Structure formats: structure tokens, C-alpha cells
Amino acid sequence: MRAAEICRSLLASTLLIAGLACRATDVPDWLRAQVAVPVPTHDEQTNAVAMYAETVLTVQPNGKMTRVERHVYRILRPDGAALGIVAVEYDPLKHIEGLRGWSIPATGSPYATKDKEIVDIALQAVDNSELLSDIRVKAVQIPASVPGSLIGSESVQVLQPYQLADVWSFQATIPALEQRYTLVLPAGWTYQATWLNHEAVTPSSAGPNAWQWVINESKPIRIETGMPPWQGIAGRLWITFQPPGGSAAGLNSWHDIGVWYQNLVKDRRIASPAIKQKVAELTANEPTLAGKIYALAAFVQRDVRYVAIELGIGGYQPHAAADVFAHRYGDCKDKATLLSTMLKEIGIESYYVIINTERGSVDANTPPNLGFDHVMLAIQLPTDLDKTPYLARTTDSKLGDILYFDPTNEYVPLGGLIGSLQANYALVVGPDGGELLRLPQLATERSAVNRTGTFTLDDKGTLSGDVHEIRIGDAAAEQRYELRNVFSDSDKIRPIEALAASAFTTSKVKSAAAHNLPTTTEPLDWDYSVQADNYARVAGDLLLVRPRVIGSKWLNFWEPKRVRENMIEFDGPERDNDAFQITIPAGYVVDELPASVNLDLGSVAYHSKVEFSGQVLRYTRTFEIKDLSIPVDKLEQVQRFFNSIVADERSTAVFKRSSP
């Protein structure tokens, strides 16, 4: 959950009802101390700067923690007023003991918030079909959060986490001048510090068994299109602590977390008589084991609705398979539990796969933690089973051949894997505990849009013709999801109308039909006819024609006049192919054709070719994404690569009238 983001959009009106705070003089010293401090270096687009931040975490011998957070911001622009809404999450394991806010305007007396101005709301139905959650938010609006003002906030939380660990996230989208993190442990306790996306900082003593880390002048992270997830690039300090002699509750390794999860689910995969009967019914007419596996997977994907009810440990622990089956709904871990239970009935073992759906949030260097947001399955494939249809599989030294499968995504059939999960790291909960494994990356041709178009151009420049389009993998899944609630034929063709509108100045989709729309095991096929007026430009005896008719491969990751700072993260691998042919009006001969383009950076590739013979202009091209991450030192090459694609897509073939 993203409390600050959610609250700033949902709480504004609620906070206004609470009224303005009274003027007060109890401004804390740590806020007053920032009044005369110069702001850190920033650009003209910066809305605010963080002048001071302090986190103090005190751990008690019983594992409870008290976390005090203080923040001071200088508001520079009107949009910086959003920082005046202070929102803090809480749940049964995280209590808020205090929440205050203050402001020191550029002129006039300071303000302070009061307890009666704090609003308390439940967050429900926030993500997808999350029906019920016990996560709540307390929030307060700091008055006079306007340009020139200095605002500060303090929150006090008492925590009882599942893991003896804490994370200090000190890098944000605005520059920060001074930030401090203090850790206070009981006598005899030890800690281990892991720095992520930042060089290690040596702590100083802050008292008996207490340490303090200080970071000065932290640079902001710029939000850019196609950037990696926040957890993958922002500077963080991850700290785990351990009492004398160690503790099983410490969850200090991926193995430990796997064992902990095994204990949560050990009594959840018990097949009820109703489940046994359903398995027998679904597999009765399937002569092969592969057919039986597919039948069970399809049932859980399509016949069990995604609905999340997450209260207490329910955020991690699935409901019993019998309950999920009886009610025919559940969240991702519930659906995985039911399918695992059903597979066991036909002799197939499977294991929980706990993953963060934003690739890069967890990698091989990430310390063991519970920062996951999704659960799927690793299905153990029998040695005598033909594994050719199962693309998303790997061979593990302990588990053998395993197939990764997401029973939550009903648009990706058994054997496939959506792009965001490919080449992603996940915790596989095997019989002996947890192991962090990298999921496979599928071949590029397994996600593709392949178009073949045949067109005719008249002497007025009007283009008309037919296109056959085949979508595979992610390209098919995304469009099936887009059309999931569309039933009328006129609405079903909207993706094609949008595609035509992006390709032509004036266009008309004369007909369009989708094939295999509900059949996820087959490619999604389109057949459509289009007409575009003034497609070609007539200039005297010359006719100018764009060979690339429809569909763009240009991806814009750059802002004007700004150097990109973050690496590029693609959604998934793909390989698209276009083949267009345009019959040119009689009486014209070729004068000039665009040059072929052959670009291959290893990570991405693009090839196009234009030919003319027999009065037909032919254009073919291939666009391929092979590596899912592009490092910063390759960005200039990638920018030139996409600029070349733009030039190719806009290029024209020139024809002239032949002599009588």
C-alpha cells in the first residue's frame, strides 16, 4: 500500500472538514533549527526540499519496536503543498502513538496541529479486487503549507513485525540536506547492515548499544518513463537484528522465510470431499496427464474469482483450500493454494512462489525480507512428461523440472508467463525451506505482434486494404484483458480504431473481427479493413508514400533538454514483425526508396527493408527486445536506436510519373 499517495488523493476533502489548526508556539527545536539553514541545491522544477529527517528505532527485548520519525520540508512551489498532508499507515501489528504537524510561514506566527484534527480512515477496495483489509491510515493536514513555509511533522509508532528488521529509505524525488537514522538495541543484541543503491556509511556511537548513520545532501530520483521500480534504484539501508544466541523468529535468511511460510500453510492444502469430486470430474475425460494438469489450472484461473480479504496474518496466510473452493473466490495465494491441492490429487507436487511483480524490486543482492506482493506456483513436472509446451520452466538441483504458473492471471495459459514476472527473482518455498531463484526469460518470439497488410493506393492518395494481425503472449494477454468486459461488436473493434487513428490523419475502419478472443491457448487473431484518405501526397509529377503503414515501434524514454538518469526497464521480451505491400497507381515509376535499416545493440534490434517491383511497394521489418534492462552507460546508444526507428517510420518512397 502507498499510504502517502493514497491519502493525498482521498483525504483532501476530509481534512478540510476538520478545519484549520490554531496558532501555537510549541514548535520543536529540531524544526526551529532549520529556519535559517540554506536550502540544498535544486533545479527550478523542484517543488520542495527536505531540510532535515530523523528516524529513531528503539527495539525492546521482546521484539517490539518504537519508531519515531521527524521530517522538515521547505516548500518552494505550489505543488509542494502536497507534503503538508502527513499520512501514516497502521494495522493490528503497527500502532500510532502520536502524530503532529507544524508550520513556520515566511511571515507571521507558527501553526501547530491538534489531535482533534487527525482523520482516521480504512483503506478498502484500493488495489484491484481487494474487498477488505485491516490497514488504516491516520492523517493530518499542516496549515500554511505554501511556498516559503517551513513545515515539520512527527509520528510515533509501536511495531510488532514478523521479521526482526527495519529499512531506512532515505532517497526520494526531492533533494535532502540532512538525514539521520538511529538504532537502539537491547544489551547483547547485534545487527547487520546492508546498503542498497548507495555506498556504505560508517555509523557513530549514539549511546550504549546504539548507533547513528548520517547522510548529507542526498540527490533526488527523477521520475522517468520506463524506469525500474523504486525499490530497485532508491538508496536504502536494510538492517536486521538478532538477540543473543539467535532467534527462530528472526527470519534472517531466505531459507528461514521459507520455513516460516511453510508453517503458515501447512494445514491449508487439505482436499475436501468436494474438491476430490471436482478433480475427478474435471479430469475424467482427459486421457493424458498433461490434459489433466491443464484442466485443473484452467478451472482455478477462470472459475475462481479474484477477491482479497486480508485481515491480520491473512496478508500472508492463505485461506484453506476447502473454503476457497466452496466460495469460488480468493486472492492470489488462495488460488495458488487451491490449485496446489487439486494437483496433489493427481499426483503432481507444487510449491509456493512468492514474488514482487515489479521486476527489480528484489534481486540476488537483496537481503531476505517480506517485500513481496504476489503468490503463484512452481509445478513439479514428472520426468516422463513431454515438457516442450511448457515454456516457463527451469531445472532446479533440488526440485527438478519446475513450471512457473500464475493461476491468478486468466489471460496467460499454462506454460506461459507474463513479461513482468520473467527474469524476476522469487522465493520458492520448497520442502526444506525457501530459496531465492530467478524465473526464466522466454524467447522473444513468444510475445509478438505479427502484421501482414495488403493495400491499394489510388491516384488521389487514398489508401485502402486489409490487415491480418496475430498476437502472441503478452501482446495477446494485454488485449484480452482490455476487452474483458466488452460484449458488443462495435466496442470490440475499438483497439483497431485506436491503432488506425494513431497511424493516419483521417481513417475509417471498414470492418474488423477478432478470432480466438476467449481461447487463451491460441493466438489472438484480427482481420480488419481500413481506409485512409490523403495517405500519399501528390506534388506535381511526384507521389510520396510512407512504406510503414500502421503500427509504431518508437518508444520515448527521454524528456526534451534533459539527460536521462535512470536505466530503462522493459515490460518483457518481444519480437514483432510487419510485412506491408502497397500497389502503386499505374503510370508511376520509382524515383527514390528509403535505405534499409539494420540495427542490433545486442539488447534491442531493428531491421527494415523497402523494395519495389511489379508496381508493388513492399516494406518488411522486425523489432526485438532481447534484454529487459538497459544500463545507464548504454542509454545514448539506445536513444540513437529509437531515433533511427522514428526516422524509418516517417521515411517516404518517392515515385514520379513515367513519360508517355
pLDDT at 105: 94
pLDDT at 21: 42
571 and 627 together in one domain = yes
390 and 457 together in one domain = no
pLDDT at 249: 57
Nearest to 385 by CA among 423, 417, 347, 358: 347
Distance CA(104)–CA(21), nearest Å, equals: 13
Distance CA(42)–CA(219), nearest Å, equals: 9
Nearest to 57 by CA among 142, 168, 145: 168
End-to-end CA separation in angstroms for the chain: 73
Q: Which of 442, 476, 492 is the last residue of a domain?
A: 442
Please state whether beta strands 604-613 and 597-600 pair in parallel, antiparallel, or not at all (unpaired). antiparallel
Phi, psi (degrees; rounded to nearest 5) at 404: -85, 130
Q: Looking at 304-399, list the stretches that DSSP marks H as alpha helix, in order from N- to C-terminal side.
A: 321-327, 332-344
Q: Which of 408, 442, 476 is the last residue of a domain?
A: 442
Task: Determine the Cα angle at 229 with ends 228 and 230, to 5°.
Answer: 115
Specify the CATH number for the domain of residue 519. Answer: 2.60.120.1130
231 and 319 together in one domain = no
Number of domains, the chain: 3
275 and 309 together in one domain = yes
Phi, psi (degrees; rounded to nearest 5) at 93: -105, 5
477 and 374 together in one domain = no
- Cell numbers standing for residue 57: 528505532
Specify the CATH number for the domain of residue 410. Answer: 3.10.620.30
215 and 348 together in one domain = no
Summarised one tens digit per residue, pLDDT across range 314-364 is 788 999 999 999 999 999 999 999 999 999 999 999 999 999 999 999 999
Positions in the chain short of pLDDT 70:
1-25, 123-132, 246-250, 312, 660
272 and 181 together in one domain = no
Nearest to 610 by CA among 623, 595, 598: 595
Cβ proximity of 180 and 81 under 8 Å? no
pLDDT at 5: 42
Q: Which residue segment(s) compose the domain that 137 sits in?
A: 3-250
pLDDT at 8: 43
413 and 466 together in one domain = no
Summarised one tens digit per residue, pLDDT across range 474-507 is 999 999 999 988 888 888 899 999 999 999 999 9
pLDDT at 660: 65
- Cell numbers standing for residue 340: 496446489
CA count, 13 A, side-chain hemisphere, 444: 17
339 and 477 together in one domain = no
Helix (H) / strand (E) containing 653: strand 653-657
pLDDT at 131: 57
398 and 491 together in one domain = no
204 and 347 together in one domain = no
- Cell numbers standing for residue 405: 504458473
412 and 548 together in one domain = no
Distance CA(621)–CA(445), nearest Å, equals: 14
Specify the CATH number for the domain of residue 214. Answer: 2.60.40.3140
Q: Which of 384, 409, 442 is the last residue of a domain?
A: 442
- What's the whole-model pTM score? 0.90
Look-up of cell digits 494485454: 478
